[in-house]
Amino acid sequence: MSDLQAVNREIRERFDARMVAREQGLTSSRKAIRCCANSIRAIHRQEWDVASQLQAEARHELDLAQGAMQPFPEIYHAGFLHDAEKEYAEARSTYAVIRGEPIPTPAECGVGDAAYLNGLSEVIGELRRCLLDVIRHGDLKRGEELLEAMDEIYFILVSIDYPDAITGGLRRSTDVARSIMERSRGDLSITIAQERIRAAIQGSLDQS
């Protein structure tokens, strides 16, 4: 039994280490997700410095989570870190597109490929929100630019033809992105057509 007691102690030590890593990873992942959500809110308000600072805070929390859980693959891939990485990729990419900057790569974001691609799929929804705002302000040229960016992201997503076990359920995210794009394209097309009709009527009135 003495040998079994020694085994018991060793197992407990390993479990304790996993628990510490899990708690650190879970806490930091939640903080990172919160920072990313607030960053995206700041982006839509054009509070660029605030958005950047919140992304930096999210990156710090992700570093803590990744570092703590790296030695324990079964915890590292449990899911909550993937969600945090996805939100971070979304925040970074949304910021880049709206600011007219290059979209960061997975390596530049420091996230996994599946999390990165799922984050990109969420960017399309954020761009729709921005597109609706510019339509309301009558900036149709900017609306066309945003729709083009959505198209580019979507074509990347739809080209990833791998099982969901590898992509983290990207197929469903891509389907959602497609429906968002279809609605956005319809909204912009209707607005452009209405503007052309309005301009034609105004031109006829001016000539008369």
Provide the angle, in degrees to the nearest 10, between the axes of the packed helices 140-158 and 170-207. 160
pLDDT computed for residue 1 by the predictor: 56
- CATH of residue 121: 1.20.58.2140
* Structural domain span for residue 150: 113-208
Question: Residues 179-203: pLDDT tens digits?
Answer: 999 999 999 999 988 888 887 777 6
Structure tokens at 9: 């102690």
Question: Residues 142-154: pLDDT tens digits?
Answer: 999 999 999 999 9
Residues 22 and 96 in one domain: yes
pTM above the 0.85 mark?
yes
Residues 106 and 119 in one domain: no
Residues 18 and 105 in one domain: yes
Q: Among the three residues 63, 89, 111, which one is the final residue of a domain in this structure?
A: 111
Residue 161, Cβ neighbours under 10 Å: how many? 8
Name residue, tokens 């497609």: 178
Residues 107 and 135 in one domain: no
Question: Residues 102-141: pLDDT tens digits?
Answer: 999 999 999 999 999 999 999 999 999 999 999 999 899 9
Helix or strand run (H / E) with residue 84: helix 80-99
Residues 78 and 125 in one domain: no
Q: Residue 76 — pLDDT band, cuts 50, 70, 90?
A: confident
Q: Among the three residues 111, 133, 161, which one is the final residue of a domain in this structure?
A: 111
